[in-house]
Amino acid sequence: MTNPAPQDRSPAEVARERALGEISDVLLNLEHTLARAKKALQRVRKSGGDHNIELALTELIADLERNHKRFMHDTYYAGDTLRLI
């Protein structure tokens, strides 16, 4: 697979590629955070940990999953549509 030469792409295309690279990095960090939170929840449950910690981790996991999904839809799948907050 060959990459087009930089002069074959417009400045807007180059900027979009860079932005998507940043999005990819953020998503990777979210995925690592989510995996770590799930591992922490398993360990806390296994050790008979504090109920409040379990609840906090459970809520955090749900929030991270929602945010990950929303971020994916707002970036990769958004197309040219404008999202109103």
Does residue 9 or residue 49 have the better pLDDT? Answer: 9
- Whether 6 is covered by a domain: the verdict is no
| Chain segment 32-81, per-residue pLDDT in tens | 999 999 999 999 999 988 999 999 999 999 999 999 999 998 888 777 66
In a domain, 48, yes or no: yes
CA dist 54 and 81 (Å) reads 39
Q: Is residue 8 part of a domain?
A: no
Domain total for the chain? 1
**DSSP secondary structure string for all residues of the chain:** --PPPGGGS-HHHHHHHHHHHHHHHHHHHHHHHHHHHHHHHHHHHHTT--HHHHHHHHHHHHHHHHHHHHHHHHHTS-TTPPPP-
Q: Which domain holds residue 42?
A: 38-74
Locate 29 and state its tokens. 């960090």
Residue 31 lies in a domain: no
